[in-house]
Homo-oligomer: A and B are copies of this chain.
Amino acid sequence: MNVLWIMCDQLRFDYLSCAGHPTLETPNIDALAARGVRFDRAYVQSPICAPSRMSAYTGRYCRSHGSTWNGFPLRIGEPTLGDHLRKIGVRPVLVGKTHMVPDRAGMEWLGIDPASPVGRNHAECGFEPFIRDDGIHPDGPLAEPELSYNRYLRENGYGGDNPWEEWANATEDKDGSAHSGWLMRYNGLPARVPDEHSETPYMTRKAMEFMETAGDGPWLCHLSFIKPHWPYVVPAPYNDMYGKDDIQAAIRHDRERDGDHAHPVFRAFQQSRICRGFVDEAVREAIIPPYMGLIRQVDDQLGELFAFMEARGMMDDTMIVFSSDHGDYLGDHWMGEKDQFHDVSARVPLIICDPRSKADATRGMVRADLVEYIDLAPTFLDAFGGAPLPHILEGRSLMPLLHDRAEPEAWRQYAISEYDYSTRYARIALDVPPEDARMTMVCDARWKYIHAEGFRPMLFDLENDPLELNDLGADPAHEAVRNRMYEALCAWSRKFHTRITVPAALVERNTNVEVPGVYIGVWDETDLKRHFPNATPQP
């Protein structure tokens, strides 16, 4: 049994044909969903790369692992999925992106040399890098001195300081004039590299290379694509596979940006330079077709990968997981990028295909159970039959949902996602101190409640307003719902999130156990004999 864990970057939940996108075709991903389970209500633990990924890689909430924003390191004391897998004899192999930022301060005071095996393992987030590729964000001295994909591009004749930027993520006119991929106006033009040399096929081939050489012994391969993340540049023919007519109308309403009614933090995000850059229809028309092309390219590559695996008889003993680290507003809700908690940002695709016969009952199911991405690590450990850990994971294995059509008893009632906007423009605009620039989303089967410290909450009725256009956070008629959701938030917040050792099973074993040699609260010899028949204190 092996696990292939595919992750896209910035792929929205609704940009797959199996998730209902009317014009985008993703036949290979759809086929995977048909063979497995598609979780339709999966939320990331933060709608931003590093925190979301660190939650997926540790099985713990952002407040628990400490990496609350990009560049805020994962605590040196946080074990990862890779650490756990290695303990049970499974190779945790990385092909692609992790966005891991090591805790240099923590390593320094602990006396861990960043170049030592322990330091390197931490810097690799517990993975064994077959190839690590964080795109344009190689993380300082511990990352490879040069992006491997840049090295590859150079070997194939694409020169310059940063061929990633100059070729793969740049576009070219018919007349041969080149444009930076940062200029969205030109994003619909083809990339300056052909399909085979672009990033997604490169990474897919690396996964195949790994599989060819993996040998016996179980592995988990985390194939972590950088796309469809911006720059929204894709090679031909994907760049014009979709056009203006394939774009869905922007999900937004004037009320959402009405200064008198819009939530102040949401409004401040809309007003940031970046979000303002995504609102014009011209921008949407320039970037959404290549965004769709990038997804289609991923799908085609997965088709190749699955065929490769099929040919080698690997489909029967490989659990395949398809996921994404967060969504992309693409101008919806007057926003660009991610950061806030609307479904287009915090809700993500999740498909799991367990090839074993015990999963036959659920093939093709679309499940509405609330899933959090912290569930992935425990699911993988469960898939490999891992023993209970000495560390506390906060997610729960999805195996019961993969093997049984019914919802397990006592499944979670609330999903949580967090966002730390302390380094964002909105904090300055709103004059919020760094430590209070926190938002938390709590959603249940029907309601989504968003708490922002120091402000009124936001509230959406996902049943009657699935597009989340009508914020009920100040509506007097919904006070009871808000109170209930606030209580859920506070109950979750009050838990111990830091403790990683001493899991519940160990507590149970140690409950009401007397400390050997300690006989406190004893009056005399009779009392001693009564309570501690075997005690022989001296004298």
Interface residues of chain A, those whose CB is within 8 Å of chain B, are 63-66, 68, 71-73, 75-79, 83, 87, 103, 105-106, 109-112, 117-118, 121-122, 136-137, 160-162, 165-166, 170, 178-180, 182-186, 192, 230, 273-278, 280, 282-283, 336-337, 390-391, 420, 422-425, 427-428, 433-435, 438, 440, 451, 453, 489-491, 493-502, 504, 507-508, 510-513, 515, 517-525, 527-528, 531, 537-539
Contacts and interface: CB of A to CB of B under 8 A. Distances in A.
B78 A183 contact: no
Contacts of A435: 495-496, 504
A523 B162 CA distance: 21
A170 B109 CA distance: 43
A413 to B, nearest CB: 15
Given A160-B538, A434-B508, A493-B493, A423 B277 contact: no
18 contacts: A63-B497, A66-B500, A73-B501, A105-B391, A111-B121, A137-B515, A180-B519, A180-B537, A183-B522, A184-B523, A185-B524, A277-B520, A277-B521, A423-B513, A434-B508, A434-B511, A435-B496, A490-B494
Nearest to A87: B109
Given A65-B498, A274-B521, A497-B498, 5 more contacts: A63-B497, A66-B496, A183-B528, A230-B520, A438-B496
A538 B498 contact: no
Contacts of A170: 538-539
B72 A537 contact: no
Contacts of A111: 117-118, 121
Given A170-B538, A438-B496, A513-B423, A522 B179 contact: no
A422 B510 CA distance: 9
Nearest to A390: B105
A73 B391 CA distance: 12
B498 A64 contact: yes
Given A118-B110, A277-B521, A527-B277, A494 B183 contact: no
Task: Count this chain's copies in the assembly.
Answer: 2
Nearest to A286: B523
B179 A283 contact: no
Contacts of A511: 422-425, 427-428, 434
A162 B538 contact: yes
Given A72-B502, A111-B118, A453 B494 contact: yes
A83 B108 CA distance: 11
Contacts of A504: 433-435
A302 to B, nearest CB: 27
Contacts of A118: 110-112
A430 to B, nearest CB: 12
A497 to B, nearest CB: 6
Given A182-B528, A276-B521, A68 B496 contact: yes
Q: A75, A278, A512, A538 — which one has the most chain B CB atoms within 10 A of its CB?
A: A538
Nearest to A418: B496
Contacts of A276: 521
Q: A103, A273, A513 — which one has the most chain B CB atoms within 10 A of its CB?
A: A273
Contacts of A282: 523
A110 B121 CA distance: 9
A420 to B, nearest CB: 7
Contacts of A502: 72-73
Contacts of A66: 496, 498-501
Given A494-B438, A499-B72, A518 B278 contact: no
A75 B500 CA distance: 8
A171 to B, nearest CB: 9
Nearest to A518: B136
Given A77-B75, A521-B275, A501 B423 contact: no
B499 A489 contact: no
B531 A273 contact: yes
A483 to B, nearest CB: 12
A140 B270 CA distance: 57
A277 B523 contact: yes
A493 B494 contact: yes
Contact of A72 (B122, B390, B501): B501
A309 B427 CA distance: 52
Nearest to A106: B77
A456 B173 CA distance: 70
Contacts of A539: 166, 170, 178-180, 192
A165 B522 CA distance: 15
Q: A65, A71, A422 — which one has the most chain B CB atoms within 10 A of its CB?
A: A422
A109 B136 contact: no
Nearest to A121: B111
Contacts of A122: 110
